[in-house]
Structure 1
């Protein structure tokens, strides 16, 4: 489907030695309260409070994006990761975000040195504007989900997970643009091919699930979910192709499932997790009956919540 080089396990290992250590070796939490053994990588305790520093760090370190100024689109966390890595390499970054993007994430991107442009009603509209801007100004457009390096950087999380936990029966991975799922799946296909890799998308943003089933990009007219970080309506063709080789299935969860997972993360691990960051955990909780007594894993991918998202489920004492 795509002419781009797919992620590789060898380059995931290279990434482990090149990414800023502040994003590596995240805590591994463990729970036995769901009738199974759940291993949970906590990606919320770093300067950008999400896993995105892994992929963007390797993207810059690997040289995939050249040497000049960069343009991207982001719901917020990817833009933070790219700003963190690129500005430390002396490179300018312009991030396009939708006019409805999370204000906490917008402020954080600007604080990390990115020039943030608000344009479009949703993420995919902002991405179209970013692509046009990059082409018009002769700049490199960085597309999360279309870069093997970004997927490989995310895959370092899986390498750490298997080093610590060994063989697993299944791993549940949040699914937005697809870089995280492709990178995690790439590593498991290499190291533990019998582990079932389950990507978890929001029911209100099902384009990647539809694309996985069709083995071709299937856009949707809208993406309506509280999980802004995975609210995608226009699939990245490269990621659709990579998922076919790295993921066993794609499942959908409701927003109510995601809220339940956010509550569980707070009760079990004392972690405040944003909706998209809890999608994998939501899938695990929803499917726990299928894996009773087994060893499964997921990750808490981000903790940049708006006040409205906090009010969804947090008691006033911890908002």
Structure 2
């Protein structure tokens, strides 16, 4: 089994649509003063789908080669948009299964990009299970976010770009959903700056991936009750867990109140509308502000597709 590698991340940069590369790095003197730290934000909302998912999906679809089977996935919305963009670019059909509770704006965006979208079940994991059954029944290629090395390596290009632009980062805080973002970024961090601390940030209401990374027993009763739909994972992906354990220094969990406050701060200080999952990194600073003083911190703002 292959895990993400620095070479794979470098190769991914050449495969990714230019629309998703070179996202801006932003700073706020006000936020630096508030936390007593130097914070750099990698703004992944500044692309056509307002999410980092276009990186990994472009790398994955470009790597399919002669496999022209129709694609199918489960998605809360952003992954489906990224896969729809890549599928349209490379001439693949795509079917997406999303929860009946999915953000309507994300559903509309996936359909606008050419995906056939079906709503199924009460949450993301139920929709993903239905996507698996559909793939087996119809002979489509099932794409599971968090289970594909090329997707993680595409996401890792965020760290490659950011650490080339900002030297001597002490700490990276990456949102933790299915695990591709944190494992990809963590792979590059371990390569480029082995002494930099790499933490993944889960929502307290969806703790299963953080529990699994920490090696805690997963009972199946953890649930996924959080405002942060993009990281509301209820069923861990073992490949992602194994990948994360190789590169993380730890996983932390943040309450929804901190996520909401982080969203407000990002709009106030940077003028950015960031979705709850995208604000999880800053929420980690809010949850324990005294722990980060004097650090040089990198945070990806990984999505900006809110309900409103």
TM-score, normalised to structure 2, is 0.96
1:11 matched residue in structure 2: 8
Provide the aligned C-alpha RMSD in A: 1.4
Q: Who is 1:55 aligned against?
A: 56
1:209 is displaced (CA, Å) by: 1.1
Deviations 1:28-74 (Å, cap 9, x if unpaired)?
01132220000100011111011000000100112279322100000
Q: 1:238 aligned to 2:239?
A: yes
**CA distance in 2: counterparts of 1:77 and 1:275, whole angstroms:** 13
Change (3 A) 1:287 1:62: farther
Residue range with higher mean Cα deviation, 281-290 or 154-163: 281-290
In structure 2, the partner of 1:41 is 42
Where 1:220 maps in the other structure, the secondary structure is coil
How far off is 1:208 after superposition? 0.5
State how far apart, in whole Å, the 2-side matches of 1:63 and 1:10 are.
Answer: 18
Per the TM alignment, residue 287 of structure 1 is displaced from its structure 2 partner at its CA by 3.5
Q: Using structure 1 for the length normalisation, give the TM-score.
A: 0.93
Corresponding residue SS for 1:155: helix
Decide whether the 8 Å contact of 2:23 with 2:43 is kept in 1.
yes
The Cα shift of 1:218 comes to 5.5
Quote how far apart the aligned CAs of 1:215 are: 6.7
Paired residue for 1:156?
157
1:9, CA displacement in angstroms?
Answer: 0.7
What do residues 214-272 of structure 1 show as CA deviations (whole Å, max 9, x unaligned)?
Answer: 27765435200000000010001100100110111000000000001101111111100
1:26 correspondence with 2:26: no
8 Å contact 2:208–2:222 — kept in the other structure? no
Mapped to 1, the partners of 2:25 and 2:195 lie a distance apart of 21
CA distance, structure 2, for counterparts of residue 265 and residue 66 of structure 1: 42
By how many angstroms is 1:120 displaced? Answer: 1.0
Matched, 1:262 2:263: yes
User: SS where residue 291 of structure 2 aligns?
Assistant: helix
Give the match's secondary structure for 1:299: strand
Aligned residues: 304
Q: Which residue of 1 aligns with 2:120?
A: 119
Q: Any conservation in 2 of the 1:177–1:232 contact (CA below 8 Å)?
A: yes
After superposition, the C-alpha distances for 1:171-200 in whole angstroms (9 at most, x for unaligned) are 000000000000000000111111100100
Q: 1:1-319 maps to which residues of 2 (within 5 A)?
A: 4-31=1-28, 32-33=32-33, 34-63=35-64, 66-214=67-215, 219-307=220-308
Asked whether the 8 Å contact 2:202–2:253 carries over to 1, the reply is: yes
What residue number does 1:317 align with? none
Counterpart of 2:169 in 1: which secondary structure? coil
Gaps of 5+ in 2: none
Matched residue, 1:310: none
